[in-house]
Amino acid sequence: MKPVIGITSTLARLNANSEGVYVHQDYYRAVEAVGGLPIVLPLASIETVKQLIDLCDGLIFTGGEDIEPSAYGEEAIAELGQTLPLRDQIELEAIRYVIDADKPLLAICRGAQVLNVALGGTLYQDLPSQYEGALEHVQKGVPRSRDTHEVLLAANSRLAHIFGGAGVRVNSLHHQSLHLLGQGLQVTAISPDGVIEGVELRGSTFAIGVQWHPENMAAAGDRSMTKLFAAFLEESQTSVEQRKPSQASKG
């Protein structure tokens, strides 16, 4: 049985007669490539979302809109981007549900920020205006799949083990980042300017947040980012084994 991987979505509107669930295709392509069975989770009621999470062996919380600052006790600044409060409300509760269930979790870009806020942390609403000396974290004129800077990995971290070294090249498509850390999180990756690029939740089976977009790199054939999805799928496979009926129950 393939691990079932739930992938969070946002809302998109193509025209007056076509609007609804949207997720970038590279998320499910990256999952498929390492042997997972991807399903897209709609922005339904939290009760429905929780039931869908129960059916999944692992969860990916995806990128997208800025998080409404009121979710972490701040007023919005002028540089804040587009927000979607409905998504914030659902995902903050959903990610806590995933953590409580100790299901494998890979939180990407906005997803890493949701993870941090859900655990009581805060964000830089806009790096260029709030973080002195920040690199250009929104790459321009470069494909999403291309790496633009290195991140440094903490020794003995799960990320260092997955990537097999003290650093890895990543893409960069964010203007926000983690500020004060949420409870239980530890920083395991930083960019050269000191911006937090990766976190891991202590005591969890597998709960990693990354600020870059590994799905774009993996879908384009990047072997390092494929390793990240493969490690996530390997942990999710454990849930599959637990769901299998025993031989006694079959007999």
Query: Which active-site residues does the annotation give?
Result: 109, 213, 215
Q: Please provide residue 41's backbone torsions phi and psi, each rounded to the nearest 5 degrees.
A: -90, 120
Residue 129 has a CB neighbour count (10 Å cut-off) of 13
The candidate with the shortest Cα–Cα distance to 61, out of 7, 3, 120, 103, is 7
Q: Coil, strand or helix: which one is 147?
A: coil
Q: Which residue has the tokens 């690199």?
A: 135
- Exposure string of 219-250, with b = 16+ CB inside 10 Å and e = fewer, is bbebebbbbbbbbbbebbbbbbeeeeeeeeee
Q: What angle in degrees, to the nearest 10, is found between the helix axes of 85-101 and 110-118?
A: 70
- The C-alpha atoms of residue 114 and residue 175 are separated, in whole angstroms, by 15
Strand partners, 21: 11
Pairing of strands 18-22, 10-15: antiparallel
Pairing of strands 105-108, 58-61: parallel
- The C-alpha atoms of residue 80 and residue 69 are separated, in whole angstroms, by 9
Exposed, middle or buried, 22 (CB in 10 Å: 0-12/13-18/19+)? Answer: middle
